[in-house]
Structure 1
Amino acid sequence: MTKYQLVATAAMGLESIVADELKALGYHTRTDNGKVYFEGDERDIAKTNLWLRVADRVKIVAGSFPAKTFEQLFEGVKAIEWEKYLPVDAEFPVTGKSVKSKLFSVPDCQAITKKAIVERLKGHYMRLGFLEETGAKFKIEISILKDIATLTIDTSGAGLHKRGYRLDQGEAPLKETLAAALVYISKWNPNRPFADPFCGSGTIALEAAMIGQNMAPGYNRDFISEEWPWIKSSIWNDVRMEVEDVANYDQPLQIFGSDIDHRMVEIAQSNAREAGFADLVSFKQMQVTDFTTTLSDGVMIGNPPYGERIGEKETIEKMVQDMGKMMNKYPTWSVYMLSSMENFEELYGKRATKKRKLFNGFIKTDYYQFWGKKS
């Protein structure tokens, strides 16, 4: 097996959680903005794709070098041993980005990168003319930041948030990776009851269920690197068998989701069926203020509407006020709410124990954490 420099990409503010996930899987990490670096072989590529809940993608870092001119870029790309990764018939689309760099034309950088890789492969495989890109796909990215070019190959394909269970969704769905992060931050464990009173398509509740039963988030999907000739199918089969072995399907769960919109509840139920949690996670149509429970030491996590539309703000503010009063009846429950409303604590009626800045897509939000009393 070969050792590769790997990087797990993450949304801003979630890097430390991805680093914790990787450490729990046994890797040494180094964190940068939106990236967590680690080393691994072919088996680790399969393992991290299957297991990382909060990362966006797992990529191979093929090379990095200074590039202030197109000539430097061409020679730097050509010097990378692309034959280690790409077979002669590889399909390799190149995407790019450039930030605070002299080489700012992304289309030119992409074209030069592509040309340099073609030259390298033609030399290695002793080919004249065109390379037929009829084989497995290798998605390459050229990223230039402050005149340093970094070349990566995506091992995931579709983003890791695409678990494979979401058949349908609402207008502003929460990404599965962010939903998993919200559960991680809450320190919820499967012995505690769990509720999401704004469940939408059920994402937070279903991510909690997967965490609760120690199910790998990638168990129900494919990855682009499964098609690569140098990662044997036996590696993927072994890792998938391990995933199956450690899943705790007998772990009982008390997970409940509700939403005011009956259509969303139906979507959440169909997503739960697809994920294999139809009997374990229950969904019901109701408004948050109708929440009642006889259980203690629970965790409530939600992503309430942000009141961005005209006329919605007052309704949502009243709902947050009412929710705060209602949850006073359940002092042992911990409440975690993701909101862009800056006056959320004031409306809720108390100061959060902790707040954490997170981005929901491009929306800047706070994750308000109201810890319950020990019963």
Structure 2
Amino acid sequence: MDRLELVAACPMGLEAIVAREVRDLGYEEVKVDNGKISFMGDALAICRANLWLRTADRIQIKLGAFKATTFDELFEGTKALPWSDLIPGHAEFPVQGRSHKSQLSSVPACQGIVKKAVVEKMKQRYQTDWFPENGPRYVIEVSLLNDIATLTLDTTGSSLHKRGYRKLVTEAPLKETMAAAMVLLSRWRPGRPLHDPFCGSGTIPIEAAMIGWNLAPGLRRSFDAEAWEVVPKTLWEQARDEAFDLVRDDEPLDIFGSDIDEEAIRVALAAAKGAGLSGEITFHEQPVSKWKPEGDYGCLITNPPYGERLGTSGEADKVIRQLGSIFRSHETWSAFILSPDKQFEHHFGKPSDKKRKLFNGRIECALHQYMGPLPPRVRTE
């Protein structure tokens, strides 16, 4: 387990951000591909990546990749991989799959072939014809793309966006991974105000506070690989101890979230408490028309409601016009606004300095970026 090829799966559009996060953890052999980042690491890297990556969905171990245009090729290629070096005889090992632009297009059939091949490989090691599958969970994924089969083991379990702090949700919550990406792209740092006037369940303010205090997003949850023999518990303890030592909870935070929905504010307050940030973020029930940015060089980071969420596109257009009017009167502020509306800039009343295509779930959006001035540097004598 000294040298593994690890894969950080992520939403389309966030690859560069995930790659930067991986490099910040100290891993240099990074390869960027559509929807995933590959890098080399050891068993400790599995722990650190799961605990620290804010914008990835899951961390996988790549077992191998090979051409597979027939079921025989898929079976033999899978069987040749070192499954029994990682998976114990009592493990549960379900197979998940997906196929795109490949001759082997039946995902259930491919899953069945892979399962059979892994069982045959494990029979050789454990000298048995039956596996109880009542132990730790090792999820195998077979991914076929352009007739190349890639086989991985998932170390994460529930997606990394499930931080563990949010027990209640609003009708259309923004994923924590996307919220974190928006904050990371904003250049925001503690010492600058951060406001979200459409905060919903509070995801953007909470993720910002976690970034501001350097809180590892995975500290409050568990992972499938914590039960694996090949990733010793001592490594998880080491990674968690490192994360706790790096917390900067003495940083003052000026983070504010508001929403017109009283229930959303209740959910946001509960989530902030679950994240250990109760009292560090100000949440307030109010319409966007009453939003009053305070301070200079602040960041507006938000995911405004649109027609499907508000009921009518006319209502959505109105609140965007109100938001734009308020924002334009605060020249030192920056704004990072996620919207699927092709007419967003028209309603907001100002063209974006930069747009970045992102996917909020299955919805194609643009992150409209309005780059205000950075705070002046403070001279130190």
Quickly name the TM-score band, shorter chain normalised: over 0.9
Q: Percent identity?
A: 48
Query: Which amino acid in the other structure matches residue 361 of structure 2?
Result: G
Query: Which amino acid in the other structure matches residue 40 of structure 1?
Result: G
Query: Which amino acid in the other structure matches residue 217 of structure 1?
Result: P
Q: State the alpha-carbon separation in 2 of the partners of residues 293 and 87 from structure 1.
A: 56
Residues 172 and 309, structure 2, Cα contact 8 Å, conserved in 1: no
Counterparts of 1:118-197 in structure 2, within 5 Å, are 118-127=119-128, 129-197=129-197
Q: Deviations over 1:299-331 (max 9, x none)?
A: 010100111368521122121112111122211
Query: Which amino acid in the other structure matches residue 15 of structure 1?
Result: E
> What's 1:202 paired with?
202
1:373, distance to aligned residue in structure 2 (A): 4.0
Counterparts of 1:223-302 in structure 2, within 5 Å, are 223-302=223-302
1:152, distance to aligned residue in structure 2 (A): 0.5
Partner of 1:143, secondary structure, is strand
TM-score normalised to structure 1 length: 0.97
- The yes-or-no answer on 1:105 pairing with 2:106 is yes
Residues 198 and 302, structure 2, Cα contact 8 Å, conserved in 1: yes
1:2, distance to aligned residue in structure 2 (A): 2.4
Q: State the alpha-carbon separation in 2 of the partners of residues 256 and 66 from structure 1.
A: 52
1:173, distance to aligned residue in structure 2 (A): 0.7
> What's 1:357 paired with?
357
Q: State the alpha-carbon separation in 2 of the partners of residues 118 and 141 from structure 1.
A: 15
List alignment gaps of at least 5 residues for structure 1.
Answer: none
Residues 52 and 218, structure 2, Cα contact 8 Å, conserved in 1: yes
- The yes-or-no answer on 1:339 pairing with 2:332 is no
Q: Deviations over 1:14-36 (max 9, x none)?
A: 01100010011111210111010
Q: Deviations over 1:262-292 (max 9, x none)?
A: 1100110011011011110010000112112
> What's 1:50 paired with?
51
Residues 193 and 294, structure 2, Cα contact 8 Å, conserved in 1: no
1:293, distance to aligned residue in structure 2 (A): 3.5
Query: Which amino acid in the other structure matches residue 279 of structure 1?
Result: G
Partner of 1:308, secondary structure, is helix
Q: State the alpha-carbon separation in 2 of the partners of residues 44 and 147 from structure 1.
A: 30
List alignment gaps of at least 5 residues for structure 2.
Answer: 376-381
Q: State the alpha-carbon separation in 2 of the partners of residues 75 and 189 from structure 1.
A: 52
Q: Deviations over 1:51-101 (max 9, x none)?
A: 000000000001111111111111111100111111111110011111111
> What's 2:379 paired with?
none
Q: State the alpha-carbon separation in 2 of the partners of residues 160 and 374 from structure 1.
A: 31
Q: State the alpha-carbon separation in 1 of the partners of residues 329 and 268 from structure 2.
A: 27
CA-based RMSD: 1.2
> What's 1:61 paired with?
62
1:341, distance to aligned residue in structure 2 (A): 1.0
Q: State the alpha-carbon separation in 2 of the partners of residues 271 and 76 from structure 1.
A: 46
TM-score normalised to structure 2 length: 0.96
> What's 2:378 paired with?
none
Q: State the alpha-carbon separation in 2 of the partners of residues 138 and 303 from structure 1.
A: 36
Partner of 2:307, secondary structure, is coil
> What's 2:115 paired with?
114
Q: Which moved more, 1:46-55 or 1:92-101?
A: 92-101
Query: Which amino acid in the other structure matches residue 69 of structure 1?
Result: T
> What's 1:7 paired with?
7
Q: Which moved more, 1:167-176 or 1:312-321?
A: 312-321
Q: Deviations over 1:219-275 (max 9, x none)?
A: 100000000012111110111001000000111100000000011001100110110
Partner of 2:166, secondary structure, is coil
Q: State the alpha-carbon separation in 2 of the partners of residues 161 and 343 from structure 1.
A: 29
Partner of 2:308, secondary structure, is coil
Q: State the alpha-carbon separation in 2 of the partners of residues 29 and 101 from structure 1.
A: 26
Q: State the alpha-carbon separation in 2 of the partners of residues 33 and 374 from structure 1.
A: 32
> What's 1:317 paired with?
317
Q: State the alpha-carbon separation in 2 of the partners of residues 263 and 125 from structure 1.
A: 55
> What's 1:90 paired with?
91
